[in-house]
Structure 1
C-alpha cells in the first residue's frame, strides 16, 4: 500500500514536472517561438534544482510522509495559480514555484523504498517507484494536448488536481519506515569520501540528456518533421511511455538477479546510445527509421533511472540517502532543465539530426563513467 501510494504521488508530480512538453503546441500557437516555449516548459525543473537537497535533508530529519504530502500540496496550489495568470513571465514564475514544491516527491519517495524493502527486492521495488516518471509522462501525453487544444488553463487545472488529490492520499496512507542511521557502504561519516557516488551522479546526469531530448522534442518532431497531428503523436508517445515504465520495472528485476545496479545500467546506456543515434539518422532523412527509433528511444532511454537511484540510496545508506538522492536529482534535473532550451536552439539553427546525435554521444559517454558497484555485503565498491 505504501509503494502504491508513493507511485501515485510521484506519477502526479512527474505528470507536471516532465509532462509539460506536451503543452508546447499550445504555447507555440499562443505566439511563442520554439526556443521560448521550450524555456517555459523547463521552468519547473529550474525550481526543482533549488530545493532537492533541502527536501532530502528534511526527509532524513523528519520523515517522508510529511515531506511528500507538503510538496505535492504546494505544487497543486502553484498550478492553480498558473492556470489563472495570463502572461508568460507570470506563468513561468508559477511553474518555477510549483517545481520547487514538487521536488519533495523525487527526494523522499526513493528513501521510502530504501527503508521498506530489502536488498534482494529493492531493485524491483525502485523500478516500480520509477515507473512513475514514464507513467506521468503517458498521462500528460494523452490529456495535455487534448485539454490545451484551445487554452492552456484546463491542462494546468488537471495537473493541479492530480497533485492535490495525491497529497491527501500520501498523508493518509503512507507510513514512514523505522529510522535507521547506519548501513550502506559507510557505517559513519560521509559516503562522498570515495568517487563512487560522484560517478553514479555523473552517469545519471549524462543519461538524462537523451531521455529529455526524446521526451521534450518527440512530440514536436512528429508534428514538424513527420507531419503528425498533436493528438495522434501524443497517443503514440503515451504508448511508448508505458513501454518505458515496463523497461524500468524489468531493469530493476534484472539488477536484483545480477547483484549489481550499475552493470545493467552500463549495458542499457550503450543500448540507448545506439538507438538515439539511429533516431538521428532517421531524422536526417533516411526513410523508415525515424518513428520506430523514436518509440524505441522513448522506451529505452528511461530504463536506467531506477538503477541509478537504487545505487545511490544503497551506497549512501539510510542516514545519508535523502541528501544523496537530493544531490543526484539536482544533477539530473540541472541537465533536464538545460536540455529543453539548449536543444531548442540547436533544432532551430542546426536541425533535429544534430540535436539527437548530441544526445546519443551523451549516452555513450555515460558507459565509460558508470562505476562498478556490487552487492556481496549489501553494497561494496570495487
Structure 2
C-alpha cells in the first residue's frame, strides 16, 4: 500500500511540477519572458488547486482506489494531449487539465497511508509517502530539462505521461481501500473546522512555508543555468540531488514526529531552519560564493520537510469521514500559493535578481513560526 501510494504521488508530482523545468527552454529557445514561462509552469498547479477539494469529496464517498484509478487515467490522457498539441495556448490548457486530473492522488494516496498505519508509525510512513513529491521533482529535473533542450518542450512531456501510466497499472494491481469505522444511521459527522482553529492555522502556516519551497523548486535550475553558466544537464543533476535530500528530509521529519509524539513541535523547528537557510542562500548568492550551490541543496531539503508533518496532522485531526475534504483544503491552499510563486518570483527576479528573491523567501517561514498551533495539538491517535 505504501509503495503504490508513494509511486502514484511521485508520478503525479512529475506532471504537476515537471513543467517548471521547461522554463529554460521556453525562455531561451522560445523567447518567452521569465514571467510568461513561469505562467506555463504554473498551469498544472492551477489545475490542481481548483480540483483538490472536489477530489477529496469524492474520496470521502467513493474510496481511495476509485479516485486513484480514475484520476491517473485522466492524467495520462491529458498528458498525451499536451505532448501532441501545438501552440502555447493549447499547451497551457492541456497542462492545466493534466494537473486537475493529477490532483486526485493528493488526498487519496495520503488516506491510504493514514488508513493502513497506526499512529505510532504513521509519521514515518507518511514521511516516506511525502518523499514522493521531491522524488517526482528530481525525476523531472534530470529528464525534462535535458529532453526539452535537445528535442523540444512537447517531447519532454512524455516523461510525466509515461510515469502516470505506470503508476495507474500498479494501483490497479495493489491498492485496497483501508478499513473505516461504519457511520451510524442518523448520526451527523461533526465538521472539524467548527470545533476550533487548529486546522485553519495549519493551512495558513503551510501556505507561508510553501513559498520558499516553490521559489527554490522553480528557479534553482534556471539560476544555475543563466546566472552561473551551468549546463542544463549539470544543473538538473544538482537539482535531482537536492530533491533526493529533500525526500530523505521528509522521512526524517516524519520519524522525528513519531519519536517526540507530536507533529507541531517538529513543524516549528523546520520553519525556523527554513528561514535561516533561505536568508543564507540569498546572502551567498549576492556575494557570488560557491557555497550558494550547496545551500540550494540544503534549502531544498529544509523547505520540503514540513509537508508530511502538516499533512499527517490534518488527516489525524479531521478523522476518516472528513479527511478527504480537509486534505483537499490543505493542498488547495498550498497550491494557491504555489501557483502564484513562479510568475511573481519571475517578476521579482527580473527587477532585483535571484539573490534578493531568495532572501525575500526567508520572510515567509519567519512569519509562520508564531502561527503554528503547538499548544493546541492533541495526543496522537
- Bin the TM-score by the shorter chain: over 0.9
Counterpart for residue 58 of structure 2? 58
Structure 1, residues 46-99: CA drift from partner, whole Å, max 9, x if none? 111111000001001010011011111111111111111111111000000001
What is the TM-score normalised by the length of structure 1?
Answer: 0.95
Give ranges in structure 2 of 5+ residues lacking alignment.
Answer: none
Alpha carbons 1:259, 1:374 under 8 Å: kept = no
Counterpart for residue 192 of structure 2? 191
| CA shift for structure 1 position 306 | 0.3
Q: Distance in 2 between matches of 1:376 and 1:80?
A: 46
Structure 1, residues 164-190: CA drift from partner, whole Å, max 9, x if none? 1211211221000112367xxxx9411
1:138 correspondence with 2:138:
yes
Q: Distance in 1 between matches of 2:314 and 2:298?
A: 27
Which stretches of structure 1, 4 residues or longer, exceed 3 Å deviation after superposition? none
| CA shift for structure 1 position 276 | 0.5
Give ranges in structure 1 of 5+ residues lacking alignment.
Answer: none
Alpha carbons 1:114, 1:318 under 8 Å: kept = no
Structure 1, residues 275-296: CA drift from partner, whole Å, max 9, x if none? 0111111221252332121111
Q: Distance in 2 between matches of 1:370 and 1:342?
A: 26
Q: Distance in 2 between matches of 1:52 and 1:86?
A: 28
What is the TM-score normalised by the length of structure 2?
Answer: 0.95
Counterpart for residue 171 of structure 1? 172
Q: Which moved further from structure 2: 38-47 or 349-358?
A: 349-358
Q: Distance in 2 between matches of 1:53 and 1:180?
A: 22
Counterpart for residue 78 of structure 2? 78
Alignment of 1:201-350 (within 5 A): 201-350=203-352
* SS of equivalent residue, structure 1 residue 42: helix
| CA shift for structure 1 position 217 | 0.4
Counterpart for residue 18 of structure 1? 17
How many residues align structurally?
Answer: 373
* SS of equivalent residue, structure 2 residue 103: helix
Q: Distance in 1 between matches of 2:139 and 2:208?
A: 25
Indicate how the Cα distance of structure 1 residues 35 and 181 shifts in structure 2: closer, same or farther if over 3 A, else same.
farther
Q: Distance in 2 between matches of 1:369 and 1:72?
A: 35
Counterpart for residue 26 of structure 2? 27
Give the alignment's Cα RMSD to 1 decimal: 1.3
Q: Distance in 2 between matches of 1:292 and 1:63?
A: 42
Structure 1, residues 233-272: CA drift from partner, whole Å, max 9, x if none? 0001101110100000000000001111111011011001
Q: Distance in 1 between matches of 2:134 and 2:181?
A: 31
Give the counterpart of 1:376 among 366, 376, 379.
379
Alpha carbons 1:113, 1:122 under 8 Å: kept = yes
Alpha carbons 1:181, 1:318 under 8 Å: kept = no
Alpha carbons 2:73, 2:165 under 8 Å: kept = yes
Q: Distance in 2 between matches of 1:240 and 1:376?
A: 33
